[in-house]
Amino acid sequence: MALPNYASPAERIWHWSYLLICTLIFIFLIAPILVIIPLSFNAEPYFTFTEKMRSFDPDGYSMRWYDSLLTFGMQAPDGPRNAGWWADAWANAKWINAAKNSIIIGFFSTILATFLGTLAALGLSRPEMPFRRAIMAILISPMIVPLIITATGMFFFYSNPCSVLGWVGLPTNCGRLAGTYLGVILAHATLGIPFVIITVTATLVGFDQSLNRAAASLGANPRTTFFRVTMPLILPGVISGALFAFVTSFDEVVAVLFIAGPDQQTIPRQMWNGIREQISPAILAVATILVIFSIALLTTVELLRRRSERLRGVTPH
Amino acid sequence: MAQALDPHAAIATQAGGIDDGPLTTADGQPLARALRRSQKRAKRRAFLLVLPLLAFILLTFVVPIAQMLQRSFYNDGFSANMPQVSAWFADTERGTDPDEAAWAALAADLTAAAENRSIGVVGTRINYDMAGTRSLFTSTGRKVRDGLEPPYQAALTEIDAKWADPVLWSTMREASSPVTTNFYLASLDRKRDAEGSITQVAENQRVYIMLFLRTFGLSLLITALTFVLGFPIAHLLATLPMRKSNLLMILVLLPFWTSLLVRTTSWIVLLQQQGVVNDLLVWANVIDANGRLQMIYNRTGTIIAMTHILLPFMILPLYSVMRTINPSYARAARSLGATSWTTFRRIYFPQTLPGLGAGALLVFILAVGYYITPALVGGSSGQLISNMIAMHMTDTLNWSMAAALAALLLAAVLLLYWCYDRMVGIDNLKLG
C-alpha cells in the first residue's frame, strides 16, 4: 500500500493518519489480550500496574496466583510438597479438576463431531447431493441459533430425553442426560459440528475430483481411493475442523451452565463462577495460560493451512 | 475392459455404432434408464454419507428446540391437575359467574391436587399470569386436606376471600386449556383482562418490548462500530504485500481464537474503576483521581466488549472480498481525473458491498443472541433479551415464558439467517 508518486500533500497527510488509525485499531484488538499477561504476575491482588511493577522491581512480581490455581480446593494446601500433596492436588484442586473435565469432554466431543462432520461434508460436496442447500442450512444452524436458545432447548430435552417418544404414544421415562458426561459431550459435539462442516467443505472445494477417477481407473476400489488419495489431501482441513470443534467445546459455557451437573465443572464454568463472585487475580493466571494455548492453536492452524496450500499447489492469493 | 466401471464409458462404446433403435448400454438397457438409475444410486450414496449427521443434529438440536417451542404455547400445569373445574370452564361461556357446580368442581380438584401434592404446580401456573397467587393455592391446599363441607363457595371463601376474585376466575379460565397464547402476549407486554380482551400491562411492568428494542438497538450500534473499525483494517490487510499482511493478520486471528471468557475478563480488568484505563487517564491528567469513569457493569461495558469480540467476524469477510478487487479500476478512475475520495466512493466502496453485507449480517445475528458478555459486564442497563431468558430459566423458573421469549428471538435470528443464506450463501461462510 505504497503512496503513488503523484499524491498531493493532502493525500499524504491522509495516508499517514490512516496508518495511525489502523495502528490504534490493532492496539484495540490485541492490547486487551496481552495486558493481562504481565498483570497475572502481580504480587498484589490488584488489577493494575503497581509502582513496583512499573519500576521493574522483582518484588512487584510473583507466581502466587499460578500457585493458588494449584492449591484452590485442596484439603491441605500448605503442607509439605511431597507425593501425598501432589496426589491431593490431582484429586481435589478445583482448577485441575476443571482442566481434566474440559479435556475429557473436549476430546470425545471433537472425535464425534469430526467423524460425523467429515462424513457429511464428503456427501455434501458430491455434485449429486439432493437438497444440498437446505441440509447445509440445518447442519450449520447450531452455530447461528443463539446459544441461550440452544441451551434452553437442551435443558428440557436432556432432563428427559425420552419425552419425545410421548409424541408417538410410547413410554416417556428413561433416565436423564443432564448432569452426565455423555450429555455434555453430545451437546458440545452438536455445537462443534458446523465448524467441521465449514472447514472440510472448504477444503473439498479445492479438491480435484479427477484424482479419484484416476485412482479408480488404475484399479483402486472406493475404500483404497478414499484412504490413499482423498484422505491425505483433505486431512489438513479435517484437522483444522477438529481444532475448531475442540476450541468450541473448550470455550463453551452456556450449555455447560444449563445441562452439566456439579461433576462436569469445566474451565470456562469455573471462570464464569470466579468472575461472577469475587474476581481474583487467579483468573488472570488462567487467562494467561489460555492465551498461550490459543497462540499454540493458531500457529497449528496456520501451519496446516500453508501445508494444504502447498500440497494442492496453490500459491496464497 | 468392456465391462467398464462406470456406465458412461459403456455408453460411449455403444454410441459409436450407428443404430436405428434407441441408444442402449453394453448390456442392452435403454440409455436413459441406465443413466437415471446410476444417477439415483449416486444420489443415494451422497445422502447416506450425510444421513448419520442429519439424524444426530435432528435429535440433539432440532427436536430440543421444537420441544422448547411447544412449551411456549402448551402448558398443562393447571388443566392436567384440575380436570373437573377445567371441564366446567369448557362447558360455559366466557364471563359466566361461577355457580355452585363450579365451586364444587374447584373444591374437588383442590382436594385431589392437595392429596397428589401437585397443588404447587397448579399454583405456579396461575402465578405466571397473576402474581402472588401461588401462596393462595398452597395455603388452601394445606387446609382442604381435612375435607370440605358444602356449600363449597362459602367454605372456600372462608379459607381465603381471594377465591371470589373475578380476575382469578378469568385467569383460571385462561389456564384451563393447555394451549395458550398468554406467554406470547406477556412477551409483548400484553395480557388478557377479565373480559378476555387484550390490553397492555401496567406501565411499570412493561419490560420485554423495551428489552427487545434495546437488544436490536445495541446490536445495530455494535454492527456499525465493527464496520467503522473493521473496514480500515480489512482494507490495509488486503492492500499490503502478502508477507506483511499475513503478519498483521495474526493480530486479528489471535483475538478470534482466544477464549470468550478471557476477553471478557480482560475488559473487566482494563475498564474497572481501579483498572488500567482509568489509571492511564489519571496519569495523563485527563481526569482527576476522584472522577474515575464508570466504564464497566453498564451499557458502555457491553458495547466495548462486544465490539471487540465481534470485530474479527466483520474483518474476515470484508478482507476476503477486498482481496479480489482489481486495483486497476481505481487507477483507471484516477487517470480519468477522479479525486481519491470520488474513486473510493464510486469505484472501490461499491465493490466491497458483498463483504460488508456478509460481515454485517453475521455480526448482527451473533450480537442479538449474546448472553455471556452482557451477563458479566452489562450491569443492569447492559442486559439483553437473552439474559431475560436465562433469568426465567434459572431464577423465576417460568419456563414457558423463557420458551416464548426464546421463540420470538429465534424467529428474528432465523429471518436474518435466511437473508444471509440468500445474500451470501451458507457454503461461503469462512473461518479465518
3-state secondary structure B236-288: HHHHCCHHHHHHHHHHHHHHHHCCHHHHHHHHHHHHCCCCHHHHHHHHCCCCC
Same domain, B253 and B353: yes
Within a domain: B401: yes
Query: Do the Cβ atoms of B222 and B120 come closer than 8 Å?
Result: no
Query: Do the Cβ atoms of B197 and B89 come closer than 8 Å?
Result: no
Pairwise CB contact (< 8 Å): A129 & B47: yes
Local confidence band at B367 (pLDDT 50, 70, 90 cut-offs): very high
Which member of A47, A126, A139 has the closest CB to residue B46? A126
Mutate to test the interface with A, among B269, B339, B392, B419 (most CBs of A within 10 A): B269
Residue B15: pLDDT over 60: no
B265 touches chain A (CB under 8 A): yes
Pairwise CB contact (< 8 Å): B431 & A47: no
Within a domain: A50: no
Within a domain: A166: yes
Q: How far is A137 from chain B (nearest CA, A)?
A: 7
Task: State the residue range of the domain holding B152.
Answer: 83-179
Same domain, B169 and B307: no
Within a domain: A249: yes
Q: Model confidence over B209-266: pLDDT tens digits?
A: 999 999 999 999 999 999 999 999 999 999 999 889 988 998 999 998 899 999 999 9
- Per-residue pLDDT averaged across B10-26, rounded? 59
A215 touches chain B (CB under 8 A): no
Q: What pLDDT sits at residue B356?
A: 92
Within a domain: B295: yes
Within a domain: A88: no
Mutate to test the interface with B, among A119, A148, A205, A284 (most CBs of B within 10 A): A148
Pairwise CB contact (< 8 Å): B270 & A35: yes
DSSP B122: H
CATH at B383: 1.10.3720.10
Same domain, B348 and B398: yes
Residue B166: pLDDT over 80: yes
Local confidence band at B94 (pLDDT 50, 70, 90 cut-offs): confident
Q: How far is B277 from chain A (nearest CA, A)?
A: 9
- Per-residue pLDDT averaged across B421-425, rounded? 82
Q: What pLDDT sits at residue A138?
A: 92
CA distances from B149 to B33, B113, B119, B146, B156 (A): 81, 17, 20, 10, 10
Q: How far is A85 from chain B (nearest CA, A)?
A: 29
Pairwise CB contact (< 8 Å): B427 & A201: yes
B335 touches chain A (CB under 8 A): no
Local confidence band at B19 (pLDDT 50, 70, 90 cut-offs): low
DSSP A58: G
Within a domain: A306: no
Q: Chain A residue with minimal CA distance to B389? A: A148
Report B:170-199 residues touching A (Cβ under 8 A): none
Q: How many structural domains is chain B composed of?
A: 2
- Per-residue pLDDT averaged across B357-385, rounded? 91
Name which of A137-146, B134-143, B360-369 the model is least confident about.
B134-143
Name which of A130-134, B376-380, B420-424 the model is least confident about.
B420-424
Q: Among B79, B168, B208, B187, which residue's Cα sits nearest to residue B404?
A: B187
Q: Model confidence over B304-319: pLDDT tens digits?
A: 999 999 999 999 999 9
Which member of B260, B389, B403 has the closest CB to residue A251? B260
Q: What pLDDT sits at residue B6?
A: 52
Which member of B61, B257, B409 has the closest CB to residue A146? B409
Within a domain: B394: yes
Residue B4: pLDDT over 50: no
Within a domain: A60: no
Same domain, B173 and B256: no
Chain A residues within 8 A of B232 when measuring between CB atoms: 18, 21-22, 25
Q: Among B246, B281, B302, B272, which residue's Cα sits nearest to residue A36?
A: B272
Q: ω into residue B151 within 30 of 0, thus cis?
A: yes
Within a domain: B306: yes
Within a domain: A301: no
Q: How many structural domains is chain A composed of?
A: 1
- Per-residue pLDDT averaged across B117-133, rounded? 84
Q: What pLDDT sits at residue B8?
A: 52
Within a domain: B168: yes
Q: What pLDDT sits at residue B80?
A: 86
CATH at A267: 1.10.3720.10
CA distances from A160 to A179, A264, B21, B67 (A): 11, 18, 64, 11
Angle at B346 between CA B344 and CA B351, to 5 degrees: 80
pTM: 0.88
Q: Mean pLDDT of successive 10-residue segments in chain A (317 residues)?
A: 73 91 96 91 83 82 87 82 85 91 96 96 88 90 93 91 76 80 95 93 84 89 88 88 93 93 92 85 91 90 79 55
Q: What pLDDT sits at residue B313?
A: 93
pLDDT top residue among B373 and A207: B373
Same domain, B366 and B313: yes
Same domain, B142 and B105: yes
Same domain, B154 and B253: no
Query: Do the Cβ atoms of B267 and A36 come closer than 8 Å?
Result: no
Within a domain: B379: yes
Instruction: Give the DSSP H/E element, type plus range, for residue A109.
Output: helix A94-124
Q: Among B104, B94, B165, B174, which residue's Cα sits nearest to residue B136?
A: B165
Task: State the residue range of the domain holding A155.
Answer: 94-279
Q: What pLDDT sits at residue B3?
A: 44
